[in-house]
Structure 1
């Protein structure tokens, strides 16, 4: 018996995969309707995603098997959901991000900004947060964190070394961090111990600021993190007539100010928690600034020097990246006619190109332009023979760094949403959620954001949004509330995974470097989660209303017009929430 439990625990994932489908079988056997069949599939996939008994992408393939067998959708209809326009946007955007990462453009930007901002304690935290947030807007949050953490720890080691050098008498007020419990009468050993503790706390704060700002920065752009793309895909799938209401420009107008507010509040909170409340000391007001800069700058300058001058490939990637962002913003901005509306419009006046079209176009250009000019070089395999240099982007580079599993995971989410709609499960859920019309919309949004923020600590943020967004859309239709009023904030809340190392890869990377306990991350992340929900609530009730017209119930969201007519008071979101 003593060895029974360890053996069961070792085989727990196999047992979960075998037992869960059998355990849930009473639902489709007793209630033999399409709604019950679809609910069985969703619950099964949700539990497998939560337990991660199977890889997330493998679980996402279940609709291809279950939906045709249960008569919910044809196999051909299900498979189409796995490679929609949103998936193309993800692939194209990631190709450009891979090029930026491959040619070290992101590292050059990071080091340059750190050299400009300086190394005073508070400014050093701010510098790392700004750089990490900006980079995570465009490239993977995981890749950004993996690059920034070693740079941060190298700077911290240099700071610690400089402190040891001046401990004998030449104090360094710029790098001297506040003590948690200052004492006036100390022995010679006590200042050294306190300085070690101060450095340890500053190291913790810097590590957390990197992983938190990676998650925060990802919310600012549509391609910054996968839940944002899940939202766009779900909206386009559930509401085909929405007129592309969620695009790069509209999302940026909504999410970027939210990101800035949350980033600054996170900086203030981490500064108070790990540096103290003496802001004069945190900002290093004192003498000897130039001399004190040298110790910490040395590491950053050395790293920047090792990059050398910008190569032709790096300059080209920079130009193409800027061009991509400009094309995204001006394609269909909403407040003035974009190039997509005027140059490539169909007979209805709608743009025939999408953000995915732009992303794939720029990435294809990168496959065409050579990485060196002039372009002749010696072939290492055949001495004496000239060969052309590789292109800026090669398929091997893309294939090595492209997270194909996320493409499948996105497709699985879209298939679930479509299956819920066609089976009637969405309409059934909407009818059951009609009592929520008696709760103020703002209170509903806050409660749902808190629920999502808690749930995303324990499971993938992609799986969280995939599971909840169709339900939220059905709820909004049932109570005649603008669907985006609850879908937008909950999508952002899915990125508020700040409390646990397992909640998101950036947290895990920082935790693996050491120096942090789970309690440290939970203490810092708990209040940051609350701050995040409040910032999201502010954004959804202010500048987001004119961007997405949240004060009306849109015609494209009507599922039960008679119900909305019977409840006109719930057909709009009151202004000034």
Structure 2
């Protein structure tokens, strides 16, 4: 208890010290406006608290919101910026949060009606319960689904498949961690493979289109699929070696899964319609968050889920992600994002290298979508050939997806962390290695491969 209180006191002293230092001294020599100094200090505070976990992660999100409204917002108004409280509040019930909520509802639906057991049994039937083969099967299934639908929703669904497997593994066995980590990491990687796989891809394509560069679906797949497959292989080998199976044979609790009622049929129908809606959302003019309203309404309207199920949804995770989005809004509103990007040199190779490193750092501390929305619009305006711009933008989109060192880095990470089946240091260890592999691969192999295809 004393250690717990000391951590809280340390966190309070740290936050207070940063605020007082910035108010009295600012950041000498950096030539920042006061609002940019405030935003930089909020970024530092959030990064330290997210990494240290001195306070619960969702509390950090509320602290970000409080500092933005009480401390940052008055400075923005003095600069005659177009700001209001809703600028930051909007991040806490945005399209992404709705998408996240819909994924949780589907997960709850799968668990309540035992549908995850049917999926788990199907995987085991094909792998024979062999631990490492089952791990590979889960990784490939997560990646494939994430190519076509939200990686957030895929994570929520696939974790319900993994949990029955984990329950049959001894508590101290390291392979439990491998199974849990495989889901969010494979979903993060799988999103790389198609234009609709993850929001950073869509952001990249939209800004390329504004530049007059139009990539087709097939072109994006050609650019990214080899890297996605390589990353999946590295992920499988990494988890198998960090958390060895040691001869473990997987099994799940024998339960009667043959009964199939009208409610089971309705649950499957809702899942299928939602997945189809996410796949065809752009064609029918609906955002992914709007589509996520369908399972939320249908499940409770039809009585498949009740108020108790609603209360059990992991609301804290929604606020963890919201904090990352709000931080991205602050960076853009204060202009600190432009200042950071503006420090990049003119040499093309150096620009690519530094942009990738900056994107990797930012994506690990805040949402991938927010990072892509901050960095890509700035770098796409740089001078250069179409091939160079495509190479740079695709590099950043892939780097965003490979940033997975912290729970706040991406919604799939946050979902897995909320399961309490792994520790923060497990996520940081494996996630940091995957992030480093992503950065090094993009730097060493990405630019020459994409340049050759695009004629840069």
- In structure 2, stretches of 5+ residues that fail to align are 408-412
2:69 aligns with 64
Q: Does 1:112 align with 2:100?
A: no
Is the CA contact 1:465–1:494 (under 8 Å) kept in the aligned structure 2? Answer: no
Distance in 2 separating the partners of 1:438 and 1:531? 22
| Displacement after TM superposition at 1:47 (Å) | 1.9
1:194-213 counterparts in 2 under 5 A?
203-204=173-174, 206-213=175-182
**1:456-475 matched pairs, under 5 angstroms:** 456=364, 462=366, 466=370, 470-471=374-375, 473-475=377-379
Match for residue 392 of structure 1? 304
Compared CA separation, residues 463 and 122, structure 1 to 2 (3 A): closer
Is 1:86 aligned with 2:90?
A: no
Question: Which consecutive residues of structure 1, in runs of 5 or more, have no partner in the other structure?
Answer: 158-199, 277-281, 285-294, 333-337, 341-350, 370-390, 513-517, 546-550, 552-572
Equivalent residue runs for 1:495-506 within 5 Å: 495=404, 506=416
Mapped pair 1:154 → 2:58: no
Report the alpha carbon displacement of residue 423 of structure 1 after superposing the two structures with TM.
Answer: 3.6
Distance between the aligned counterparts of 1:101 and 1:268, measured in 2? Answer: 29
Displacement of 1:31 in angstroms is: 9.2
Assess if the C-alpha contact under 8 Å between 1:81 and 1:412 holds in 2: yes
Q: Return the match for 2:268 from 318, 325, 328.
A: 318
Counterparts of 2:291 and 2:376 in 1: how far apart (Å)? 30
For residue 103 of structure 1, the aligned residue among 103, 113, 120 is 113
1:270-318: CA deviation from partner (whole Å, max 9, x where unpaired): 5577879xxxxx9x9xxxxxxxxxx957x43xx2434452332222222
Residue 37 in structure 1 maps to residue 35 in structure 2: yes
The match for 2:337 is 426
Instruction: Report deviation, 1:427.
Output: 3.4
Cα-to-partner distance string for 1:394-425 (whole Å, 9 max, x where unaligned): 3442332142x444454444444444444443
- Please state whether the residue corresponding to 2:273 is helix, strand or coil: helix
Partners of 2:39 and 2:336 within 8 A in 1: no
Cα contact 1:413–1:467 (8 A) shared by 2:
no
Instruction: Report deviation, 1:442.
Output: 5.4
CA distance in 1, matches of 2:161, 2:119: 12
TM-score under structure 2 normalisation? 0.69
Task: Please point out which of 315, 328, 348 is paired with 1:438.
Answer: 348
- Give the C-alpha shift of residue 118 in structure 1: 0.9
Q: Which residue of 2 aligns with 1:575?
A: 454
Kept in 1, the 8 Å contact 2:109–2:305? The answer is yes
Look up the SS of the partner of 2:129 in the other structure. Answer: coil
- Equivalents in 2 of 1:311, 1:318: separation in Å? 11
Confirm or deny: 8 A CA contact 2:178 2:240 kept in the other structure: no
Match of 2:185 in 1: 216
Number of residue-to-residue matches in the alignment: 422
Structure number with larger C-alpha Rg: 1
Deviation at 1:68, TM superposition (A): 2.8
Query: Which residue is 2:394 aligned to?
Result: 485
| Cross-structure match for 1:197 | none
Equivalence map 1:246-261=2 (5 Å): 259-261=228-230
The Cα of 1:156 is off from its aligned counterpart by 7.3
- Contact (CA 8 Å) 1:45, 1:59: kept in 2 or not? no
Say if 1:99 and 1:447 are closer, same or farther in 2 by CA, change over 3 A: same
Aligned to 1:193: none
Indicate the SS of the match to 1:265: helix
Q: CA deviation at 1:36?
A: 3.2
- State the TM-score, normalized to the length of structure 1: 0.57
Q: Distance in 2 between matches of 1:156 and 1:468?
A: 40
